[in-house]
Structure 1
Amino acid sequence: MGIPSDDVVVIEKAILPGEPCVITVNCPDKTGLGCDICRIILDFGLYIKKADFSTDGIWCYVVLWVVPRPSSTAVKWSNLENQLLSVCPSCSVPYYFYPQTTSSSPAVYLLKFLCSDRNGLLHDVTEILSDLELAIQMVKVTTTPDDRVLDLFFITDNMELLHTKERQDGTLKQLQAVLGESCTGCELQLVGPEYDPHHAIHSLSPVVAEELFRCELLDKEIRSQALSPDMAKLKNASVTIDNSLSPAHTLLQIHCADHKGLLYDIMRTLKDSNIKIAYGRFSPPAKGYRDLELFVQQKDGKKIQHPEEQNALCWSLKVEMLHPLRVVIANRGPDTELLVANPVELSGKGRPLVFYDVTRVLKDLKICIFSAEIGRRISASDREWEVYSFLLEENSKFQFSNMVAKNQIVDRVRRTLMGW
């Protein structure tokens, strides 16, 4: 028989400051559940200190020790619990008969406003949306000749309440408080079938696209593009496969530099490769590095035996550990463009909080954003990417004709995205 839903997700809050909270998930198993859980944890600004996963193929048990990141806002634990419950298979049926279901796509709303431009405006709006648990799906931001900004945010509601008048009124009220009296209009409406969730960015030149979507981070790029010694750690990633320790499972041993969303990146790669996890342990960080041991099987329940399959999986995991997010700065005609890209899950979901982090960095650097856009792009290897484009305005500190200044922006953005 099933178990009560109250016992599916249990959150034990920390007693003393600095101690981790313990999140337990106990529910029917499904391929990719670990990825879905880690994505939500990342979206709520939490850092996974350690984790244990176990399943018998029918039922799974996950324990996560998490702490809020320093830059995170106060965690709404009840909302986190609801989000985790939403990705868990139903517990209202017996665990030995879990039917596979397909969730419907959430409704998309258009938030549109026109107001005077100022430094940090885009991040302030993004922060409000994040606090309200409104997920940004697409953005189109333009500055008019009279220094006013027209913002179009296509959003979904993680709480699925945006169809109610109370939720809409509360959202608009908080936004208008941030936008101030210069806001001449703030509207929220359900979008029609003309909305394209796979809106493409076509403005990338072949040279920039090659640099942005390159599969590997070359040693010379680590030296030239990164001012931070943290980047040198990325070269020490290793993935080994052992089939001798278990008669039914392949052991994956992963050692790499720690970064924000590391466990999500690994779980996303395994989910997209149709790899099932039977048991896993994510060890606490040690001198900036993390170790992860996973006993896994292929979708057909067999070990990963063929050398070609082993090499392909190891290569995919290394790419995500070495180069999980791409950041470049380039010229687009007379303008300077900051581009950030991250791979999209096969389910169509992009990495959370990227837009939030990039706009926060630009606000801290006092760099104004002339225009911004989020879109999708298929690379030459037929992989879908989520691309964030920002046209930047110079200030007294950052003259874009200076390559050192450009490298400083790239390094600051990358470090923030990596959680360093």
Structure 2
Amino acid sequence: MGIPSDEVVIIRPPERPEDPSLITVSCPDKTGLGCDLCRVILLFGLSIVRGDFSTDGRWCYVLFWVVERGRKATRWDLLKKRLVEACPHASSLLGIEIYSFSRHTDQRPQVFLLKFSCYDRMGLLHDVTEVLCELELTIWRVKVSTTPDGRVFDMFLLTDTRELLHTKNRQEETCTQLRAVLGDSMCTCDIDMASEEIAACLQASASLPPSMTEDMLTQETQYEAYNPVASSSPLSVSVDNSLSQAHSLVQIQCHDHKGLLYDIMRTLKDYNMQISYGRFDAAENGKCNIDLFVVQNDGKKIVDQNKQDALCSRLRMELSSPLHITLVSRGPDVELLVANPVELCGKGRPLVFYDITHALKMLEIRIFLAEIGRHVVGDREWEVYRVRLGDDHELCASRDKIVKGVTKMLMGWH
């Protein structure tokens, strides 16, 4: 356990260009803190190559070694600010904050409707998505349609991390940044606070049509076919109670992918598990070893065999198929479906739409229609991305190449 620092978050640059940067977090503990920190790091496009966690039950000390993976230069000052915001305040030392499903009812920030029209071009939607991400605007829903004459009408439901989108200056900044990217092709741009009726659609719908549910969840992505190295790193998850009198050891061996540590941490968060000590290490060959000493929310080990089996099964499922990706026919059209589970607190996986549109831009495939929605399938809430491809997609790539390109982008296998 390290000595608490006056600074909650410290970011140290690498000594050599090829070395990772070091992020140190020292703050009061809470269940799910590791998930929240990993989510922020993933949102900034960074990959965690090593991690250490330790806590005495009240104060925690976390180390992340991170590297940049191809996006624009990291805004380190802003990253530090967002990490600090994810940490509990010192006043929480009065008691550990336990995450539960009831916290899902926390009030969400104001929702805004962005509407603009322009003329279509290759990579348009990705360029728009990149601008919104850089402005720290979170996309909750999108409806994009293209007319026969090549005009695009886009509608985005957004929330603002900075909570300033209600101001004229922030709205003008957003429209100005979009115009800088779209140029003369942009016709209109308007931002208004979403009505209660429109904002209500952020709630997950009861279900998906049976045919879409089957397409989305039964056709598992063949990840090994797109990253042969993964086949040499079989997934292993186990719980061992023999090494510690007070903790259960969760041991994971698997192949690395973008957001791996986030996927592990969000699963433990949803299960109300608290990490007392943990270590994560990703080797150069992509093999990862994770050791986590955990306790349940009652402070006890996981001794019930059914609970052990349930946790291991969920971790295997989340790590073997963190996203479901498939291409299906809708009459004469072809639709790309991507689905990922939503945290119990209501947060979706960061940058999924960014990566989808980036992959399609790289393949030079136009997007005719795109929608993001949330749906309940079984006992889980899913964020579902539906992207209808342009009529000329077959001229650009085969179906397998499209799925492969999107999968590799989402999984970070470049």
Identify if the C-alpha distance between structure 1 residues 51 and 396 changes in structure 2 by more than 3 Å, giving closer, same or farther.
closer
Distance 1:399 1:11 in 2: 43
Identify if the C-alpha distance between structure 1 residues 230 and 335 changes in structure 2 by more than 3 Å, giving closer, same or farther.
farther
Distance 1:311 1:343 in 2: 20
2:381 alignment partner in structure 1: 384
Q: CA offset at residue 76 of structure 1?
A: 0.9
Q: CA offset at residue 144 of structure 1?
A: 2.0
2:202 alignment partner in structure 1: 197
Instruction: Give the match's secondary structure for 2:184.
Output: coil
1:413 alignment partner in structure 2: 406
For the 8 Å contact 2:26–2:60, the answer to whether it is kept is yes
Query: Residues 265-304 of structure 1: matches in 2 within 5 Å?
Result: 265-304=263-302
Distance 1:377 1:89 in 2: 31
For the 8 Å contact 2:248–2:301, the answer to whether it is kept is yes
Identify if the C-alpha distance between structure 1 residues 238 and 320 changes in structure 2 by more than 3 Å, giving closer, same or farther.
same
2:10 alignment partner in structure 1: 10
Is 1:156 matched with 2:155? Answer: no
AA of the residue aligned to 1:246: S
Distance 2:314 2:357 in 1: 29
Q: CA offset at residue 318 of structure 1?
A: 0.4
For the 8 Å contact 1:54–1:279, the answer to whether it is kept is yes
AA of the residue aligned to 1:174: Q
Is 1:349 matched with 2:347? Answer: yes
Q: CA offset at residue 199 of structure 1?
A: 5.2
- Decide which of 330, 333, 337 is 2:331's aligned counterpart: 333
Aligned length: 404
Distance 1:94 1:206 in 2: 45
AA of the residue aligned to 1:276: Q
Q: Deviations over 1:296-346 (max 9, x none)?
A: 011111111111111000000001110001100001122100000000000
Instruction: Give the match's secondary structure for 1:152.
Output: strand
Distance 1:263 1:100 in 2: 20
Identify if the C-alpha distance between structure 1 residues 347 and 111 changes in structure 2 by more than 3 Å, giving closer, same or farther.
same
Once structures 1 and 2 are overlaid, which stretch shifts more, 42-51 or 158-167?
158-167
Distance 1:201 1:176 in 2: 38
AA of the residue aligned to 1:373: E
Q: CA offset at residue 412 of structure 1?
A: 1.0
Distance 1:376 1:396 in 2: 27
Q: CA offset at residue 74 of structure 1?
A: 1.3
Instruction: Give the match's secondary structure for 1:75.
Output: coil
Q: Which runs of 5+ in 2 are unaligned?
A: none
Q: Deviations over 1:368-395 (max 9, x none)?
A: 111000001111x221110000010143
Q: Deviations over 1:264-312 (max 9, x none)?
A: 0000000001111100000132421100000001111111111111100
For the 8 Å contact 2:98–2:272, the answer to whether it is kept is no
1:237 alignment partner in structure 2: 235
TM-score by length of 1: 0.90
Instruction: Give the match's secondary structure for 1:174.
Output: helix
Percent identity between the aligned chains?
Answer: 52
Identify if the C-alpha distance between structure 1 residues 94 and 340 changes in structure 2 by more than 3 Å, giving closer, same or farther.
closer
TM-score by length of 2: 0.92
Query: Residues 222-261 of structure 1: matches in 2 within 5 Å?
Result: 226-230=225-229, 232-233=231-232, 236-261=234-259
AA of the residue aligned to 2:85: S
Query: Residues 5-404 of structure 1: matches in 2 within 5 Å?
Result: 7-70=7-70, 72-91=71-90, 93=91, 95-97=93-95, 104-194=107-197, 195=199, 196-198=201-203, 200=205, 205-214=209-218, 217=220, 221=222, 226-230=225-229, 232-233=231-232, 236-379=234-377, 381-395=378-392, 398=395
Instruction: Give the match's secondary structure for 1:180.
Output: helix
AA of the residue aligned to 1:95: L
AA of the residue aligned to 2:178: L
Q: CA offset at residue 24 of structure 1?
A: 1.0
Instruction: Give the match's secondary structure for 1:137.
Output: strand
Q: Deviations over 1:214-248 (max 9, x none)?
A: 4x959xx567xx454245356x1001111011111
Q: Which runs of 5+ in 1 are unaligned?
A: none
